[in-house]
Structure 1
Amino acid sequence: MSRRQVFGAAALLVAGLAVAACTTTLQGRPVSVFDDPFRVAGMDATDGPTGLRPDAQDPTREVADSDGGDIDALAAAAVSDIEEFWAQAYPETFDGAEFTPVDALVSWDSTDFDGMFCGADTIGLVNAGFCLDDNTIGWDRGELLPALRGANGDMGVAMVLAHEYGHAIEHQARLNKPGTPVLVAEQQADCFAGAYMRWVAEGSSPRFTLSTADGLNGVLSAVIAFRDPLFSEADDLASIDEHGSAFERVSAFQFGFTDGPGSCAAIDLREIGQRRGDLPVLLPEDQTGELPVAEESVRAIVDALNISFRPARPPALEFTAEAAESCPDARPSPPVSYCPATNTLVVDLPELQVMGAPQEDVDTNGPATGDNTAYSVLMSRYLQAVQHEQGLVLDTAEAALRTACLTGVATTALTRDVTTPDGNTIALTAGDLDEAVSGILTNGLAASDVNGDSVPSGFARIDAFRVGVLGDEQRCLARFP
């Protein structure tokens, strides 16, 4: 996010990971038959086993150049499982056509000089891929898959291989003409991976299980980790080998998980362009994408939201964190709490600064961290005030998803420069959307009710936020009444 003076002063911006805040999950009966907060794409949102089954069927595929270790065994099981899914789904998706597996699986160790994949040396190749030239799937057992398993469990490995197999499906089904942008092919593959994960979550896999709460949250974390780096308009590499932002890739995954593999062919440049709309993709040359988390910035963002939403009684701001404890009708939800009784936003500025601390290593895969991880929480509490003014209930699971949706609306509103009375201009920048998505998945506060309680499914939280980003206030109120 950026803040600048209208006379053209340089923008200052900040990034950070939501590490200090957490939410509890709401329990009870759903309050809407249209969008059930306790279901994920029609499935119950439940915790349970996730990963390789103790009684998993043996792999049906052998791995060339394997070291015979656990990582290659896991990868072979994943590819065997993915092929079993496609043996069923491919004819259903592509007019009865028969599915043909890839010709071979190849493993290498990126720390070893002795390895080849797709005609190239694999030393330093920390990657997985589909090789069109010889119709093979390969992976790095030395660094990539162990890191994925450590960060996201067995299903992190299965997710990446399901994505790579998605490229094989694209080729076999002749979905794309020569010259189709990488961006399209990558998000189609994300979508196909989502369809496979739905099959696992439904209990159809003989090798893996996937819970629809924490298990699916972990898979989404893996999707976010493989987002594009943040480029500026001056970067020569911008738009070259583009895969998509975290928001875009998670959206594509959710299409496949919710609507099945038939929905993936609909992803093309036009569809991606519609999803992007006017959302920023590249940083302007004179900006860093970082807005320091400070009282001045908080006030400026609230001023911008007042202009965008025009409440009859804008909420007051209070920077004494202890004031949240005396609210008679809501529990504190630091680092930003909303008290309906006094119509006040209570900001714990030190905790908000921790949440908005800069990412230490921008080259490390993981959650997208930054200033909007913190400011999206501030926006969500402001949207509680907007809802309160309209007489809406604020302490239910439905309210939590409504808040996420309206936070998405506010996020899109701030992609257009908003000039505040003190002469500041507030604007969302490239990367801010990904920071909000990561925060919604990891801490859930921007998708919580007035007490800071959220729903168990990160998938449902992100989906509600996406509805708002791509919709408007009325769509949120209609979907989450």
Structure 2
Amino acid sequence: MTFSNDSQLDPGRASGGGGRGLAVGGGLGGTLLLLVVGLLFGPDAVEQLTGGTGQGSTTQGSPEEEFAHCRTGEDANRYTDCRMIATAQSLDQFWEEYLPSTTGEQYVQPGLRLFQGRTDTGCGAASSAVGPFYCPADETAYLDVGFFEQLQAQFGAEGGPLAEEYVLAHEFGHHIQHQIGTLGYAQQDPQGPESGAVRVELQADCLAGLWAGHAAGDTSGAVDLEAITPAQLGQALDAAEVIGDDRIQQTTQGRVTPEAFTHGTSRQRQVWFYTGYETGDLNRCDTFRAADLDNPAAAF
């Protein structure tokens, strides 16, 4: 989605830092492998593979200094890091009102860290190869803005503003799950096509869709998103398809192994995002009730 030019960004909404260090694993193939491991299994798996040897400075200035160029909606439409800050503000605006009105739970803002190369987190060290993730230990979403270029170059994603915003909205969805108590199912049942991990990820996709459906045209806060165009919606659905377990497995290993699924298939990620977007109803995001994860409507 496009931000109106008069949107007012808060550079302090994100923390940053990290240097562009040596590529963990060495070369495109190694980086691709670690990206896939990170997308499927999370930062802990990358840390186990690399032994924590990713290099890169985590020295940083204040957010106001590092993101001083992020001030307006025009900046958000021009720069990826500014777009992530504006998206976080839009997500805050939405969830601050929607979460208590539907669950009685007061929304607590998660942290947002935009890093390069390598960073330390409450869940351990992470490199840019891990992809975006949410750490419940420090309630922070982590993202290397270079991830979006990597997704286009290595997995053929279309890209586009809403595709990028969807990725961050998904990570904020994990924070909402942390607040309402569903995030833990991923660790209790970590793999398989019907696993708790898959259901957690698909619910986060649905929560991202909730935000997308409600946020456009919301002028209640400092940032204002314009209406979603069909092309932008298509780009978000394309991003969901590209990071489906079956698509990633087929691309990287030439076969699909459902018993190793952790995030859901491309189709499932698309239909659950669209369910949130179309219905605008948190109750319709209950993936844990769904008997058929390919058909969200069948659960209700």
Corresponding position: 1:144 with 2:159: no
- Asked if 1:198 corresponds to 2:213, the answer is yes
Larger Rg: 1
CA contact (8 A) 1:182 1:243 kept: yes
Indicate conservation of the 8 Å contact 1:175/1:265, yes or no. Answer: no
Q: 1:217 aligns with which of 234, 239, 242?
A: 234
CA shift in 2, pair 1:157/1:248, >3 Å? same
- Bigger mean CA offset, 190-199 vs 119-128: 119-128
1:81 equivalent in structure 2: 90
1:176 deviates by 5.2
Closer, same or farther: CA 135–71 of 1 in aligned 2, 3 Å: same
Alignment match of 1:99 (pick from 92, 107, 116) = 107
CA distance in 2, matches of 1:81, 1:148: 24
1:174 paired residue among 175, 181, 205: 181
Tell me: CA distance 1:186–1:121, structure 2 relative to 1, closer, same or farther (3 Å). same
SS of the residue corresponding to residue 92 of structure 2 reads: helix
Partner of 1:65: 16
The CA RMSD measured in Å over matched residues stands at 3.1
Q: For residues 336-381 of structure 1, give each alpha carbon's deviation from its aligned partner in whole angstroms, at most 9, with x where no partner exists.
A: xxxxxxxxxxxxxxxxxxxxxxxxxxxxxxxxxxxxxxxxxxxxxx
The equivalent residue for 2:224 is 207
Counterpart contact for 2:95–2:107, Cα < 8 Å: yes
Identical residues among aligned pairs (%): 22
Question: Within the alignment, does 1:56 sit opposite 2:11 as a pair?
Answer: no
* CA distance in 2: counterparts of 1:267 and 1:119, whole angstroms: 26
Please identify which structure carries the higher strand content: 1
Within 5 Å, which residues of 2 pair with 1:281-360?
none
* Equivalent residue, structure 1, for 2:45: none
Structure-2 change in CA distance of 1:250 and 1:225 (3 Å) = same
Question: Are residues 1:248 and 2:248 paired?
Answer: no
Residue aligning to 2:278: 258
1:60, distance to aligned residue in structure 2 (A): 6.9
Shift of 1:276: 4.3
TM-score (norm 2): 0.64
Q: Per chain length, whose mean CA-contact separation is higher, i.e. which structure has more relative contact order (CA < 8 Å, sep 6+)?
A: 1
- CA–CA distance in 2 between the matches of 1:144 and 1:177? 26
How many pairs align? 221
Which SS does the other structure have where 2:112 is aligned? strand
More helix by share: 2
Q: Distance in 1 between matches of 2:206 and 2:241?
A: 14
Separation (CA, whole Å) in 2 of partners of 1:56 and 1:190 = 26
Following TM superposition, by how much is the alpha carbon of 1:207 offset from its aligned partner in structure 2, in angstroms? 3.1
Q: Residue type of the partner of 2:93?
A: E
Gaps of 5+ in 1: 1-49, 278-465, 471-481
Distance 1:98 1:247, change over 3 A: same
SS of 1:121 mapped into structure 2: strand
Distance in 1 of aligned mates of 2:120 and 2:137: 13
Structure 1 residue 126: Cα displacement: 4.5
Q: 1:235 to 1:218 in 2, by over 3 A?
A: closer
The answer to whether the 8 A contact 1:126-1:144 is kept is no
Structure 2: 5+ residue runs without aligned partners?
Answer: 18-65, 70-78, 190-195
Q: CA shift at 1:238, angstroms? A: 3.9
Contact 1:190/1:253 (CA < 8 Å) preserved in 2?
yes
- Structure 1 contact 63–106 (Cα < 8 Å) conserved: yes
Please give the alpha-carbon distance, in whole angstroms, between the structure 1 residues aligned to 2:214 and 2:261: 30
In structure 2, the CA distance between the partners of 1:83 and 1:124, relative to structure 1 (3 Å rule), is closer
Give how far 1:118 is off.
3.7
Q: CA deviation at 1:208?
A: 2.3
8 Å contact kept, 1:170–1:176: yes
Q: Equivalent residue for 1:229? A: 246
The separation in 2 between residues aligned to 1:56 and 1:83, in whole angstroms, is 14
Task: Please state whether the residue corresponding to 2:260 is helix, strand or coil.
Answer: coil
1:274 maps to 2:278: no
Q: 1:200 to 1:245 in 2, by over 3 A?
A: same
SS of the residue corresponding to residue 244 of structure 1 reads coil
Q: Which moved more, 1:238-247 or 1:61-70?
A: 61-70
1:165 corresponds in structure 2 to 172
